[in-house]
Structure 1
Amino acid sequence: MTNAQRRAALLASRKAEMDSSSNDSKPAPKPGSAFHPHEASAYYLADVNTVGTFKMFARDRTPPVYTYDIITVHFELNPDTGTWIWFDGKKNQFPRKTQDGWRLGSRKLHDTREGAEAELQHAMAKNGDRVTKVHDLPDDMTALKKIRSAHHPDRNPAADQDLYQAVVEKLDRMRAQAQ
């Protein structure tokens, strides 16, 4: 008997076992698999990607632009191996146990969305993203006008658009409160 014949016989016997033993839609996991998703079976990943990169020997280096996203993960049971997998369209990833919980690839799995959002806030603070600093604007009208003129898109091509927009919105709010 060749290896291919053995494999085909093994798969046929497994399929026959699964058809006879369970009639429900989800097959039962093998007792050897350690990962069992909770009843909601939704986990969350904090995803930080780089949009723009800088060239190593360029004169005008610009820092990379980061995008932040939360991915909802649904697990399925692989009937061949009996392990829970998440198929992202590129590769099968298996959850693995670490000291602080479960990981999918290099990213930590979060049971709740709040945990993933906290990790995103930490990544944004680490990267110095402007979104976390919008609320740090001064309450002085003249200081805000200086920031606005320094970051005006028409006068400065390397202006921070998010900061300029935040200053304009804060000036509008301050003018509305003064009236």
Structure 2
Amino acid sequence: MNPRPARTSVTKQKLFDAALRLLGERGAAEVTVDEIASAAGVAKGTVYYNFGSKDALIDALLRHGVDLLAQRLRPEGTDDPIEHLVGASLGFFRDYPAFGQLLVSEMWRSPGQWHGTLSLLRDDIVAIFKQVIQRSADAGKLPEGVQAGTASAALFGTLLVVALDWQVFQPDRSLDQVRDSVMLLVRGVSPGA
């Protein structure tokens, strides 16, 4: 049995964790491969072996983070899919605050180095929101004329900014308190909720 794939997976996770922490603190342009390797407790060559470059590491990190978020957002079996989206998003950004910082800093940089990757990843997440919101609209739970695509992007963007605001300015609030506040807003604009 070859232990290499498991060891490679563990090493990649260490690199993701170290890179995410450093990138969240200082931004992608300011962090070096040496710093990422040191923070991960691996040799610099390990970064190149696993990813080829710092840019490829960041690209893979963005994809990995969005995959984790997408897994949490799937609303299978929930009574209130919109509340699930809100709670799952806020919980994810609470658990991975540096990822939220990285998304905000890189997503709105125009055109940033990872704009292409982030556009695809944003579309993946917004598509999940759009499915849920479209079902709510089809069930008459949203005001007439609400465009699911716009509402989806608005809700995702709101949750991202609310999560960052919560972590920076109101860290003493619980996830339930923040989720309930957002849901009051959401329910206030949807007649059937």
Q: TM-score range by the shorter chain?
A: under 0.3
Instruction: Say which structure is richer in strand.
Output: 1
Q: Over alpha carbons, which structure has the higher Rg?
A: 1
TM-score (structure 2 length as normaliser): 0.22
TM-score (structure 1 length as normaliser): 0.23
Higher relative contact order (CA 8 A, sep 6+): 2
